[in-house]
Each structure stands twice: as structure tokens, then as C-alpha cells.
Amino acid sequence: MMLSALILIPLLGAVIIGLVPLKGKSPRNIAIVTAISVLAISLILGSQFDLQQPGLQFAENIPWIEWIGLNYHLGVDGLSFPLVLLNSLLTLIAIFSTSTTIARPRLYYAMLLLLSSGAAGAFLAQDLLLFFLFYELEIVPLYFLIAIWGGAKRGYAAMKFLLYTALSGILVLASFLGLVWLTEASSFDYLSLRSHTLPLNAQLLLLAPLLVGIFIKIPIFPFHTWLPDAHVEASTPISVLLAGVLLKLGTYALLRFGVGLFFDGWVYLAPWLAILASVSALYGASCAIAQKDMKKVVAYSSIAHMAYILLAATATTRLSMTAAVFQMVSHGLISAFLFLLVGMVYKKTGSRDVDVLRGLLNPEKGLPVTGGLMILGVMASSGLPGMVGFISEFLVFRGSFPIFPIPTLLCLVGTGLTAVYFLLVINKVFFGRLTEGLTQIPPVKWKEHAPAFVLLLLIIAFGIKPDWVTHWSELQAITLLTNG
């Protein structure tokens, strides 16, 4: 029941916060307790996880609506566990980084927990239809979280997000329905569907809509346009979850279903997908250079870095698949870290414009700790040794280079550009003389930076000791590639 607890506890928390007329800090406190409970369960799950067993663990399988083939089938393996843990951690961090004076707190925290529950369900679902339900479930709270607590153009951004991701869901569902229809399977159970092997043409026919749906979610160029708008308009905690967890639903689905269910079709398309990954990486990096909004820089950086996961997945080697999982964790931590810091700059200065902000490293009147952390975040994102970004990118490029050398080299150029656009931001925003209008910035309290410090600790720890992440997914990588 531990896996169900990961879904039901936040769901229960959301229901309590949403329905019970709580006042003051109670909604926040309940949300914190809920998130801590979920994180604790995730850690217990990790402590009991058998690293030598490549298949599903802690499986729960309850028949649900049998006549349509839907079962409540949950399970966790080396592919999903790191993401479940990431989801638990980032949910707690998102709650802590939310302002204590946020408007309509009951609705906000209820939506946040519902989002967490949906994401956990999607990572744990071993039934394609169940995955789809959770995949869709998280769209609703996220829509409200952007539409209600977002920035000036929140309505536009939320609607764009909704339309894109709803389309993504439809395409994914179409692929799943087609798979069940063509295999004449009696259920949507992932493991039983995996045992069927369709002809290449049929695989390509089903893989195409699945890939487009997933590429919207990740997002990969040219399906990406919803992401910068969503990030810019979303509040900081929501950007943290969006970049850290929700984009990972796309890459998770890519590995789990794209590679896992349509392996022949995947291998057939891999060279083209590798090229698309390199184009997306270079496009994301180039756009990031041109941005004036710090948040947009991080958002476009996300597009570039998520493309590395696609590149690694196309290589379909043990190392590259391990790298893909590592890059998911790495990007989840680093992007969440960067969004927290950009959010802090915005909260204190009221601006994210790199043409307005100057000299924020001023030790007396600026944001020196935020600036220092930002520099560390940039180092991590640029793949400097000693941090998680270096290991993940090194693994990706090492794993994919023997298979697709040219796309890998192009992605390497993209990673070089990471340093360019982030250093431009750092140089403009944090160095030089403090802008005249910013001489009365409120100071940042240490507890405001606590979530960022937690992420930094993990970014450095996994950079020094990468096997803390890789040992979860190494065996699972083989399972994905060898059909068990």
C-alpha cells in the first residue's frame, strides 16, 4: 500500500484543505505535513528497494473497470523511483517557497497537492489508461495554479498550456488505444502489452502520435511555445514543479512507452530523433541568449537541456539510458534551483529584466547570497565538474557519441552555449554598480533561501557521488532495452 499512499495522502490532504474551512496558516501547515509524510514514505520506499531486482517492485494490482480493461496497477522500478522521489522533494520545496501570505491559500495548497498526487500516480501507473488518467489529472490543478496565481498574462499562458497539454494527452491516448486495438489485448496493462510485438509499420503508426504528444509535454522544438509563457506567468513554486517534475512526465513517457513499447519503431526513427534533439538543444540555447527576462532564459535553457534526454534515449545503449534518467534528475534539481533564485530576485526587486537589474552582488544593499547561489546554479547547469550537471551531461554525451556522433557534437555546442547565456545574465544582473532604483531592496532571510540550499546540497552531492542516482536505473536500463 506504500505506492497508493504516495498518491492518496496528497489527495487526502488536498481534500481536507479544500473542503474543511481552515483559517490562518492551517492550510499551509497541513500541506507541509502532507508533503513531509509523502517524502518520508518515498525515502522508506527507497530504503526497501531491491537494487538487484530489475523489474517492478511494491506492485499493487486491483481490478477497477474491467470491461474497459482498466486496472489499478501500480509499481515502481529504477526508472520511476528517482522521479517519484524528485516529485516528493520538489513538492515540499514548492510549499516552503510559497509566500505565507498567498491569496486563497486553501485552494492553492489543495491544487498543489493534487498536482503532486497526479504526478506521483503517473510515475507509478503500470496501466496505460491509468497513466493517462493521472497524466490528464495534473493538467487541471496546474492550469488553475497558473491562471489564478500567475502574472499579468496568466490567463493567456494558462489557456495555452491547457490547449497544448490537452492535445498532448489526446495524442498519447490515441496511441494507447491503437496499441490495444492492434494487439487485441484485453487490458491496458503495461507488462502484458510489452509482451506483444507489432510489425514495424504498425509501431511507427502508433509511435508517431505518441511522440508528438510527448514532445509537446517535454517540450521539444517545434512543440515548445507553451513552455516559456507558462514559466514566465507561473509563480516561483509552480515553475519549480513545472520544470522539476511535470516536464519529466514527458521524458518518463518517452522511455517507458516510446522505447519500452515500440522498440523497433524507436530504433528506426532514432537517427531522426537524434537530429531533432540537437536542433532543439541548439534552438533552446540560441533563444536563451536573446532573452531579456531571466525566467525566460531558464525556460529556454530547460528546452535545451531536456533535448539531451531525447538524445540519450535515441542511442539506446545501457549507458545512454542510465544517462537519460540521470539527466532527468539533474535537470529537475538544477532547473528548480535556478527558478527558485530567479523567483527570489523577482520577489525582492520586482523585476526579472536583465536590462534593468544591475549589481545585485553588492554585499551591503544587493542580494549577495542569491547572487552567489545563482553563480553556483549556472556552474551546475553549464556542466562544471563537481556538480550533478557535469555527470549527467558527460554520461549523455559519452553514451550517445558512439551511436550518433554529429548530433552529440551539436548538443555539445549547445552545452557550451549554456555558459554563454547564463554568464551574460550573471554579468548583467549581478555585477557592476547597483541600479539606482534598487538601493532599498529588502534583505533575504536565511530561511527564505533554505529550499535553495537543500537543492544545492543535492546538486553537489550527486555531482561527487553520482552512483547514488545511477544505481537505481542501471538495471532498469537493460530491462527497457532487452524487453525484460
Partner 1 sequence: MVGISVKRSKSLLIEQYIAKLERGEALLDDSSQNLVEVVGILKSYGVVLDAYSINLCYIANTQFLKLFPLFKYFNGQINPNKVAKFVWHDRLNYEYAEYCMKAMFWHGGGGLDTYLDTPEFAAETERLVKAYFKYNPLMLALHKAFKDFLPEQMRQMAYYSALGQFWRVMSDIFLNLSDSYDRGEIKSIPDVVKFILDGLVADATRPITYTVEVRGQEFDIIPKAAGLTFLADTAVPYVEAIFFRGTPFTGTVSYNAQAYEIPYDPGMFNYGALYADPLPIGGAGIPPTLLMQDMRHFLPDYLRQLYQHQSIRGTGDIRVQICESFQKSMFCVTTAAVKGLAPYPLDTQNSEQQAANRKYLKGWLNRILESQLVKVNSQIQTELKPV
Residue choice 90, 129, 441, 455 for contact with partner 1 (CB under 8 A): 441
Residue choice 53, 439, 482, 483 for contact with partner 1 (CB under 8 A): 439
Closest CA to 371 of 318, 447, 422: 422
CB closer to partner 1 out of 181 and 431:
431
Q: Identify which range of 102-110, 133-141, 360-368, 456-464 contacts partner 1 by CB under 8 A.
A: 360-368
Cβ contacts of 363 within 8 Å, gap of 6 or more: none
Instruction: Provide the minimum distance between the beta carbon of 179 and partner 1 in the complex, in angstroms, as a whole number.
Output: 60
Per CB under 8 A, contacts with partner 1 among 30-49 are none
CB closer to partner 1 out of 101 and 440:
440
Instruction: Provide the minimum distance between the beta carbon of 434 and partner 1 in the complex, in angstroms, as a whole number.
Output: 5
CB closer to partner 1 out of 98 and 362:
362
CB closer to partner 1 out of 151 and 432:
432
Q: Is 24 in the site for partner 1 (CB under 8 A)?
A: no
Amino acid type, 147: A
Binding-site size, partner 1 (CB under 8 A): 13
Helix (H, G, I), strand (E, B) or coil at 71: strand
Q: Is 365 in the site for partner 1 (CB under 8 A)?
A: yes
Residue pair 421/294 in contact by the 8 Å Cβ criterion:
no
Amino acid type, 440: Q
CB closer to partner 1 out of 11 and 361:
361
DSSP 184: T
Peptide bond preceding 222 in cis form (omega within 30 of 0): yes
Residues 22 and 297: their CA atoms lie apart, in Å, by 38
Instruction: Provide the minimum distance between the beta carbon of 440 and partner 1 in the complex, in angstroms, as a whole number.
Output: 5
Residues 14 and 401: their CA atoms lie apart, in Å, by 45
Instruction: Provide the minimum distance between the beta carbon of 353 and partner 1 in the complex, in angstroms, as a whole number.
Output: 20
Q: Is 427 in the site for partner 1 (CB under 8 A)?
A: no
Q: Is 446 in the site for partner 1 (CB under 8 A)?
A: no
Instruction: Provide the minimum distance between the beta carbon of 435 and partner 1 in the complex, in angstroms, as a whole number.
Output: 10
Q: Identify which range of 69-77, 268-276, 358-366, 413-421 contacts partner 1 by CB under 8 A.
A: 358-366
Closest CA to 193 of 176, 209, 205, 206: 176
Instruction: Provide the minimum distance between the beta carbon of 442 and partner 1 in the complex, in angstroms, as a whole number.
Output: 5
Residue pair 212/171 in contact by the 8 Å Cβ criterion:
yes
C-alpha cell at 278: 540537437
DSSP 365: T
Residue choice 359, 377, 389, 451 for contact with partner 1 (CB under 8 A): 359
In 260-328, DSSP assigns E strands to: none
Instruction: Provide the minimum distance between the beta carbon of 25 and partner 1 in the complex, in angstroms, as a whole number.
Output: 25
Closest CA to 256 of 193, 308, 209: 193
CB closer to partner 1 out of 184 and 364:
364
CB closer to partner 1 out of 55 and 432:
432
Q: Is 445 in the site for partner 1 (CB under 8 A)?
A: no
CB closer to partner 1 out of 52 and 440:
440
Question: How many C-beta atoms surround the C-beta of residue 353 within 10 A?
Answer: 14
Q: List beta partners, residue 16.
A: none
Instruction: Provide the minimum distance between the beta carbon of 236 and partner 1 in the complex, in angstroms, as a whole number.
Output: 21
Residue choice 316, 362, 400, 408 for contact with partner 1 (CB under 8 A): 362
Q: What are phi and psi for residue 97, nearest 5 degrees?
A: -90, 5
**Can you say whether the dihedral through the CA atoms of 260, 400, 51, 54 is positive or negative?**
positive
Question: Torsion angle of alpha carbons 244, 245, 249, 252, nearest 10°?
Answer: 70
Q: Is 433 in the site for partner 1 (CB under 8 A)?
A: yes
Residue choice 17, 120, 434, 459 for contact with partner 1 (CB under 8 A): 434
Residue choice 101, 364, 446, 447 for contact with partner 1 (CB under 8 A): 364
- Transcribe 139-154 into DSSP letters: HHHHHHHHHHHS-TTH
Distances (CA, A) of 364 to 426, 437, 443: 18, 15, 9
In 264-416, DSSP assigns E strands to: none
Q: Is 363 in the site for partner 1 (CB under 8 A)?
A: yes
Residue choice 350, 416, 443, 484 for contact with partner 1 (CB under 8 A): 443
Residues that bind partner 1 (CB under 8 A): 359, 361-365, 433-434, 439-443
